Amino acid sequence: MKQEVWELDEKPMKYHDYHWYADELPARKFYLFLAEIGHRQRHLMTDADAIHMLELCEQCAEGVIDENELGELAQRHRATGEGDLTINLHANALFYWVADRYKVADHGVGEFAVDVFAFEAAVNAGLLQPNATFQEITAAQQHPLFASVRERTELEWGALIRCIYGPNPFRPVTSAPAWRTEAAVGIAAKMYDSRDFGNMPILADALQDAGCEHADILSHCRGDGPHVRGCWVVDLVLGKA
């Protein structure tokens, strides 16, 4: 099931349908996904250590530190679990269990981070006060708004996983050296560094000009996205694992 789920026709599915935290998959992809979630909720993170762990996850993804070093640093920079708002508490908790892949996926993402934007929407809609009690929070979670935002977030994160991990990371796509032209590498590098992926269709053209006719690669470049740092096609062009 770990492999087959990636190749089902419904794309993307909810993030928890994919075994994205499997030990046999590259750590780099795992931490790029965490970092992307972290950037999206960074405005709600209040714990300095949690923010630092976001930075360290990116360093691990870029090879500045390895996963063992990240685990040691996580013990020293573990979020305190204290914050001003319920939203903040959930946002900070994303990085609490780094670097235990299963606990991050099950607790940091599954129990806390996925609810962050649903809580934010509930507060913005006046359904919750920032200092809501546990009972009020529990009641708000039964509201249709909370459920709809949570479901949308689960699908959005499924799309992020598809972008970062590719069609099937257990059977990775390989590229021909001829595809990695100066033009293609230059376009990919600029997007990777800037986090602006608006030139994905242009990358598709450059790859096709170089002889690439791989359907998954070209359709991903020309699709609606999302495209984020760690995009499997950009990584393929840049030679990143």
> Which value, in Å, is the radius of gyration of the alpha carbons in the chain?
19
What is the C-alpha separation between 85 and 87, in angstroms, rounded?
5
148-150-154 Cα angle (round to 5): 115
- Could you tell me if 75 and 104 lie in one domain? yes
Reported as a single tens digit per residue, the pLDDT across 140-193 is 888 999 999 999 999 999 999 999 999 999 888 988 999 999 999 999 999 999
What is the C-alpha separation between 168 and 161, in angstroms, rounded?
10
- Could you tell me if 103 and 213 lie in one domain? no
Tokens of 216: 């998954």
Number of domains in the chain: 2
- Could you tell me if 12 and 49 lie in one domain? yes
pLDDT of residue 81: 58
Q: Which domain holds residue 86?
A: 4-165
Which sign, positive or negative, has the C-alpha torsion 116, 234, 3, 68?
negative
Q: Is the pTM of this model over 0.75?
A: yes
- Could you tell me if 224 and 128 lie in one domain? no
pLDDT of residue 82: 58
Give which of 152, 113, 119, 153 is closest to 134, Cα–Cα: 119
170 is a domain residue:
no
171 is a domain residue:
no
The helix or strand, by DSSP H or E, that contains position 91, with its residue range, turns out to be: helix 86-92
The helix or strand, by DSSP H or E, that contains position 177, with its residue range, turns out to be: none
Q: What is the pLDDT along the chain (241 residues), one digit of tens a residue?
A: 466 678 776 677 899 999 999 988 999 999 999 999 999 999 999 888 889 999 999 999 999 999 889 888 888 777 665 555 578 888 888 888 887 889 889 988 988 899 999 988 998 998 888 777 777 878 888 899 999 999 999 999 999 999 999 999 988 898 899 999 999 999 999 999 999 999 999 999 999 999 999 999 999 999 988 999 999 999 999 998 7
- Could you tell me if 125 and 40 lie in one domain? yes
- Could you tell me if 159 and 221 lie in one domain? no
